[in-house]
């Protein structure tokens, strides 16, 4: 697919990108998607290949590694000085990043329970395993806290349910707390994202520029 959304207005483009991701999850076919838009590349690609002039391949890696560990100066310049912020959107929370739940009963719904002087819960919305770090950091800052409860659906597997893009509109009433995210966990997730094995995966691979 050669720049299929390049001439479309931003609102329609965002909707088409979301539909592209939905279809790709459904059909499970590898797609080569060419774009000059870095934000589009890291949103849509499981792996991103960066080329310089003349068709020379500079780096091919998952988006988080492209942003967190550029292989060359050309790639560093291409992804820009704000790449650290972009990493928050493409690094997903893993259960391994969490500390044990700080509740008497890890299988109970927390709601707004108070334990000692600490209020447990996420008034601004629940964050799940598999959510981007950007969502978790925003929730931490909104609540002025240094820990955050992370949830998973009842009966979820060890990974906390389906990983990947998260549907923010889903009903969270059937979820239970599975752990606590701290700043240490945030940093661990960022380190993990750049140390991940660069193994080819089936999915949408985006080429840029």
Question: Is pLDDT above 50 for 192?
Answer: yes
Q: How many CB atoms lie within 10 A of CB 186?
A: 19
Tell me the pLDDT of the chain averaged across its residues: 76
Which pair of tokens denotes residue 51?
A: 């080329």
What band does 165 get if pLDDT is binned at 50, 70 and 90? Answer: very low
Calculate mean pLDDT across residues 17-32: 92
Please tell me the predicted confidence (pLDDT) of residue 125.
Answer: 64
Higher pLDDT, 120 or 188: 188
pLDDT at 199: 45
Question: Looking at per-residue confidence, does 18 or 164 come out higher?
Answer: 18
> Is residue 163 scored above 80 in pLDDT?
no
Structure tokens at 105: 């009963």
Q: What pLDDT shows up at residue 209?
A: 52
pLDDT value of residue 145: 74
pLDDT of residue 41: 93
Tens digit of pLDDT for each residue in 29-70?
Answer: 999 999 999 989 999 999 999 999 999 999 999 998 999 899
pTM of the model: 0.63
Q: Region 5-9: what's the mean pLDDT?
A: 91
Using pLDDT thresholds of 50, 70 and 90, give the confidence band for residue 168. very low
For residue 207, name the pLDDT band (cuts at 50, 70, 90): low
Is a pLDDT exceeding 50 seen at residue 169?
no
Cβ proximity of 83 and 68 under 8 Å: yes
Q: For 132-158, write each residue's pLDDT tens digit.
A: 888 888 888 887 777 888 888 765 544
Report pLDDT for 208.
57
């Amino acid at each position: 697919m050669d720049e299929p959304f390049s001439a479309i207005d931003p609102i329609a483009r965002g909707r088409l990108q979301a539909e592209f991701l939905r279809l790709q999850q459904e059909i499970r076919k590898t797609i080569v998607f060419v774009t000059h838009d870095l934000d589009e590349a890291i949103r849509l690609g499981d792996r991103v290949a960066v080329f310089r002039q003349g068709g020379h391949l500079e780096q091919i890696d998952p988006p988080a590694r492209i942003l967190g560990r550029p292989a060359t100066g050309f790639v560093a310049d291409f992804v820009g000085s704000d790449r650290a912020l972009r990493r928050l959107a493409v690094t997903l929370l893993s259960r391994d990043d969490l500390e044990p739940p700080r509740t008497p009963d890890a299988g109970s719904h927390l709601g707004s329970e108070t334990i000692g002087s600490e209020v447990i819960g996420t008034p601004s919305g629940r964050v799940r395993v598999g959510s981007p770090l950007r969502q978790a950091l925003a929730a931490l800052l909104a609540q002025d806290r240094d820990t955050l409860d992370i949830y998973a659906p009842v009966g979820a597997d060890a990974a906390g349910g389906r990983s990947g893009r998260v549907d923010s509109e889903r009903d969270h009433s059937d979820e239970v707390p599975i752990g606590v995210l701290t700043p240490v966990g945030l940093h661990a997730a960022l380190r993990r994202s750049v140390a991940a094995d660069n193994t080819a995966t089936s999915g949408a691979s985006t080429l840029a520029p």
